[in-house]
Amino acid sequence: MHIDILTLFPQMFDSPFGASIFKRAIDSKLVSVSLHNIRDHTHDKHRTVDDYAYGGGAGMILKPEPIFEAVAAIKATIKEGAEKLPVILLTPQGRRFCQEVAGELAGYSRLVLICGRYEGVDERVRQHLATDEISIGDYVLSGGELAAMVVVDAVVRLLPGVLGSAASAADDSHTSGLLEYPQYTRPPLYKGWSVPAVLLSGDHARIAKWRHEQAIQRTRQRRPELLEKIDLP
Ligand code: 6GU
């Protein structure tokens, strides 16, 4: 997968993309990321990216031209299917991001992510450039950058080959619609707290049953609304 990210702050992405699973995914060429500074697509001396809101009000609005031009420059490098390219605006007004949306985005071979600033983006970007709008939750961030990192992380770990084993993603909280069951590692006894005996039993069928029950119980206690969305066997 190739991901193009349009932002006013490309340097914000250095550290999350330079570590851990993500770095391995890039090094092994399963994913590539290009960061595009929106400011590089301005033409005036002051490299202006924002302006006052028509009608008044506090806060500056991102101008449409540099954003349209940045996306056009990306599309110009694509040989086939540029008209179908998903162009996603990160904004608190977007549809709510969740594991299902991550799975949907993981099905594309390319994504363009536009990081808005919280004061706003000219409406014409939303109406005539973006094909989708995503929010990562009901709170306001200063910009779409952190949201883009969240989206990229959740999507990239679903790409085939990125995680060590296929099973590690399948068992995650939310993949099944349930929260994950409790996990333990050695030592079996720590400060008087023991690992549940069933996990030491070697009986794989019993372990699977226990984990499923625990996942349901935990989901019922913490996120009961999730249970309404799934069919339990
Ligand atoms: Cl995508 N952007 C901003 N600025 N705030 C958010 C968000 C996005 N998602 C939740 N809050």
Q: What is the CATH number of the domain that holds 205?
A: 1.10.1270.20
Ligand 1 pocket mutation, candidates 96, 101, 140, criterion most atoms within 8 A of CB: 140
Domain ends where: 102, 131, 156? 156
In a domain, 161, yes or no: no
Catalytically active residues are 92, 119, 157, 172
Domain ends where: 131, 156, 181? 156
In a domain, 162, yes or no: no
Q: Which residues lie closer than 8 Å to 227 by C-beta, 6 or more apart? A: 178, 216, 219, 220
Q: In angstroms, what is the span from residue 35 Cα to ligand 1's centroid? A: 19
CATH number of the CATH domain containing 112: 3.40.1280.10
pLDDT digits (tens, 9 = 90+) for 134-147: 999 999 999 999 99
Domain ends where: 129, 156, 183? 156
Say yes or no: CB of residue 118 within 6 Å of ligand 1. Answer: yes
Q: Are residues 140 and 184 in the same domain?
A: no
Beta-strand relationship, 132-135 and 87-96 = parallel
Position in ligand 1 atom list of the atom nearest CA 139: 11
Say yes or no: CB of residue 135 within 6 Å of ligand 1. Answer: yes
Q: Are residues 83 and 129 in the same domain?
A: yes
In a domain, 163, yes or no: no
Give the number of residues written for the chain: 233
Q: Are residues 222 and 178 in the same domain?
A: yes
pLDDT average, residue stretch 177-206: 97
Q: Are residues 120 and 175 in the same domain?
A: no
Q: Is 107 helix (H, G, I), strand (E, B) or coil?
A: coil
Residue 51's pLDDT band, with cuts at 50, 70 and 90, is very high
Q: In angstroms, what is the span from residue 46 Cα to ligand 1's centroid? A: 27
Q: Are residues 108 and 204 in the same domain?
A: no
* Preceding amide of 233 cis, omega within 30: no
Residue range(s) defining the domain that contains residue 193? 171-229
Provide the domain count of the chain: 2
Q: Which residues lie closer than 8 Å to 172 by C-beta, 6 or more apart? A: 99, 180
Q: In angstroms, what is the span from residue 63 Cα to ligand 1's centroid? A: 18
Say yes or no: CB of residue 139 within 6 Å of ligand 1. Answer: yes
Of 174 and 223, the one with more pLDDT = 223
Q: Is the pTM of this model over 0.75?
A: yes
Q: In angstroms, what is the span from residue 212 Cα to ligand 1's centroid? A: 34
Say yes or no: CB of residue 140 within 6 Å of ligand 1. Answer: yes
For CA atoms 162, 166, 167, 172, the dihedral sign is: positive
pLDDT digits (tens, 9 = 90+) for 15-38: 998 888 888 999 999 999 999 999
Q: Are residues 95 and 192 in the same domain?
A: no
